[in-house]
Amino acid sequence: MTLKQPNSMDECIYFTNRSIGSGKAKAWVFKVKCPKCSKSLMGKPRDPKTNKPKIRSTEYTCPSCNYTEQKNEHEEKLTANIQYTCPKCSNQSEIEIPYKRKKIQLLNEETGKKSPADALQFKCSKCEEKINITKKMKGT
Ligand SMILES: [Zn+2]
Ligand SMILES: [Zn+2]
């Protein structure tokens, strides 16, 4: 399997590249064409003054016909592409999973406390280790 790589961030609604323990993961989710008019890619609505996407918006819209979908409804139909190096067995592989976050308990290594977090979770194809790409929390 060879995943299609994004040419620019504008093609993605999500992109991350980070280390996970001794492994790493790169993940991206492509924007999809508007299901109504097929002319444009669905994305976060843009601020008419600055023309920058409103990243906190809970909707995705088509810039051509203004067709709108709620964030959750839209994201559930999308696919996350992930290239990873397993932190446990160093296996290098790729995987496609539904773009749906799971609630997990994340261990803070500094405090030893667990706290809830949202993560894209998948299993290493070799050792079945669960690998989490957590959503970056505010203030961390
Ligand atoms: Zn449209
Ligand atoms: Zn592994």
**In a domain? residue 64:** no
pLDDT value for 137: 59
Structural domain of 86: 79-140
**In a domain? residue 84:** yes
Helix (H, G, I), strand (E, B) or coil at 43: strand
- In the structure, what pLDDT confidence band is assigned to residue 129 with cuts at 50, 70 and 90? very high
pLDDT of 140 strictly over 70: no
**In a domain? residue 25:** no
**In a domain? residue 121:** yes
**In a domain? residue 59:** no
Please, which residues have CB less than 5 A from ligand 2, an ion?
86, 88-89, 91, 124, 126-127, 129
Q: Residues 33, 118, 53, 48: is their CA dihedral positive or negative?
A: positive
- In the structure, what pLDDT confidence band is assigned to residue 90 with cuts at 50, 70 and 90? very high
Q: Are 60 and 77 in contact (CB under 8 A)?
A: no
In the chain, the number of structural domains is 1
Distance in Å, CA 87 to ligand 2 centroid: 7
Ligand positioned closest to the Cα atom of 69: 1
Name which of 16-30, 31-45, 72-86, 107-121 the model is least confident about.
Answer: 107-121
pLDDT of 27 strictly over 80: yes
